[in-house]
Amino acid sequence: MTNELQHLVDALAQRLRRPVAVDDVAFRLLAYSAHPTDVDDLRKAVVLTRGVPPDGVAWLRGYHLSKATDPVRLPANAALHARPRIAIPVRCQGMHFGCLWLIEHGPAIEDAELAVAASFAGQAGEILFRERISAELESTRTGELIRDLVSDEPATRQSAAASLTESGLFAARGSAVCLVVRTGSADLDEDERLALSVTLDRAAHSLPARECLRMVRPGHGVLVTTETALRHCPELPFSVHRTATRLLGKEDSVVGVGPAAPALADMLRSYRGALQAAQVAHAVPSFRPVAEFGKLGVYGLLADLPSDRLPSPLDTMAHRLREAGLFATAELFLDRAGDVRAVADALSVHRASIYPRLRRIEQITGIDLADGEQRLALHVGIKSARLQRLA
């Protein structure tokens, strides 16, 4: 918060000779004046923790202060050790920013004093309104720079990286990493975009202020941080997933982690890798809820191909195997490098029953499982089907 609001609070406290505090709509403390030693316990807790305790929040919400336009007098609350107080709404341009608080201790607050305090609350509203507009403009500018950071044009990416570092919005220390969070929906509605925005904001609180960039794109959220910060907070991708799942109310949220980019201007590679990792996690259950690009194996190669370069869904060996009920057997056999015992154990059947299945797989696909190249072709076809969610 700027010094302007603090100066305003100090000036009002000196004029009224009473302690003054201003909080936001979530009852988080924004500014406060000097307080006497005998101030009530609730205000002490607010000053020490920068916010109202949960039981205090429940009490205050009962007065619907966000809808008030005139000062609201609150009686003492013995359970909270709170003296009588007055909440003066802080508003500007029809927007509610919080309240200016006066504690009624000693002489009652007279109407003339209340009028002065209301005037100061109006000034506080103007300050907070200007700061919100400034923050929104900065957020818009930052969002534009992040979009430029993943542009296809090298010069645009270089310029965006330089602007972000020179303006102090991102500390270019070491490699940078991109995280992508997405759901099964290709396009997000307004509520889903808001939920993703809140998800990214909460994730940012666990990262150094100058080592985090975030934005919401049409179908996913993007979080950029440093490799060092992610190393110190390895649970971050899982925390992002949990928050997104809770706020979106969907179980299909996934997070993709891209490869480290040696410089911020190289973020496009990490961004694309994170998108591919999220795509694989969404299509292949074994990679959920968090997929790292470096651990995708063959899926990383397949995800990098345009959809029209992947095998046709209805004319593939994988499709024929699925129709015959042998897709899982073939995949396990290839995944385990032809270890029949391991395949039998995974399917909970006797090893002898696997051999007839393998012969049937060769008949259906027309390949020789003893031929390494033919085996590889089938294996890639099966993984392609998994990626296209055809099996």
User: What pLDDT does 71 receive?
Assistant: 96
Q: What is the mean pLDDT of residues 21-47?
A: 90
Report whether pLDDT(2) > 80: no
Backbone angles phi, psi at 386, to 5 degrees: -60, -45
Q: In 77-113, which positions are buried (b, 16+ CB within 10 angstroms) versus exposed (e)?
A: beebebbbbbbbbbbbeeebbbbbbbbbbeeebeeeb
Tell me the C-alpha distance between 324 and 320, whole Å. Answer: 6
User: What pLDDT does 310 receive?
Assistant: 65
Q: State how beta strands 254-257 and 176-182 pair.
A: antiparallel
Report whether pLDDT(95) > 70: yes
Report whether pLDDT(133) > 60: yes
Fold that domain 307-387 belongs to in CATH: Arc Repressor Mutant, subunit A (1.10.10)
Q: What is the mean pLDDT of residues 223-245?
A: 94
DSSP state letters, 270-334? HHHHHHHHHHHHHH-GGG-SEEEGGG-THHHHHHTS-GGGSPPTTSSHHHHHHHHT-HHHHHHHH
Domain 150-303, CATH homologous superfamily name and number: Reverse transcriptase/Diguanylate cyclase domain (3.30.70.270)
DSSP state, residue 337: T
Q: Does 242 or 135 have the greater pLDDT score?
A: 242
Quote the percentage of the chain above a pLDDT of 90.
Answer: 59
Q: What is the mean pLDDT of residues 216-222?
A: 90
Q: Residue 20 in contact with residue 29, Cβ under 8 Å?
A: no
Quote the percentage of the chain above a pLDDT of 70.
Answer: 95
Q: What is the mean pLDDT of residues 46-72?
A: 92
Q: What is the mean pLDDT of residues 204-222?
A: 89
Q: What is the mean pLDDT of residues 210-218?
A: 89
Report whether pLDDT(262) > 80: yes
User: What pLDDT does 308 receive?
Assistant: 64
3 state SS of 260: coil
Q: Does 141 or 253 have the greater pLDDT score?
A: 253
- Among 162-176, 219-233, 296-310, the range of highest mean pLDDT: 219-233
Mean pLDDT of the chain: 89
Q: What is the mean pLDDT of residues 362-384?
A: 88
User: What pLDDT does 193 receive?
Assistant: 87
What's the full length of the chain, in residues?
391
Q: What is the mean pLDDT of residues 359-387?
A: 88
Residue 389 zone, left/alpha/beta (φ > 0; ψ -120 to 50; rest): left
Environment class of residue 263 by beta-carbon count within 10 Å: exposed (0-12), middle (13-18) or buried (19+)? Answer: middle
Environment class of residue 70 by beta-carbon count within 10 Å: exposed (0-12), middle (13-18) or buried (19+)? Answer: exposed
Q: What is the mean pLDDT of residues 24-49?
A: 90
User: What pLDDT does 175 receive?
Assistant: 93
CB atoms within 10 A of CB 324: 16
Q: Two tokens at 90?
A: 């802080």
Domain ranges of the chain: 3-131, 150-303, 307-387
Q: Residue 23 in contact with residue 65, Cβ under 8 Å?
A: no
Q: What is the mean pLDDT of residues 269-280?
A: 94
Tens-place pLDDT, residues 286-313: 899 999 999 998 888 787 776 666 665 4
Q: What is the mean pLDDT of residues 362-389?
A: 86
Q: In 217-249, which positions are buried (b, 16+ CB within 10 angstroms) versus exposed (e)?
A: bebbbbbbbbbbbbeeeeebbeebbebbbebbe
User: What pLDDT does 306 receive?
Assistant: 67
User: What pLDDT does 314 receive?
Assistant: 46
Environment class of residue 371 by beta-carbon count within 10 Å: exposed (0-12), middle (13-18) or buried (19+)? Answer: exposed
Instruction: Give the CA angle between residues 99, 100, 102 to the nearest 5°.
Output: 130
| Interacting residues of 328 by C-beta distance below 8 A, sequence separation 6+ | 347
Backbone angles phi, psi at 92, to 5 degrees: -165, 135
3 state SS of 174: coil
Fold that domain 3-131 belongs to in CATH: Beta-Lactamase (3.30.450)
Which amino acid appears at position 365 of this protein? Answer: T
User: What pLDDT does 389 receive?
Assistant: 67
Backbone angles phi, psi at 365, to 5 degrees: -90, -20
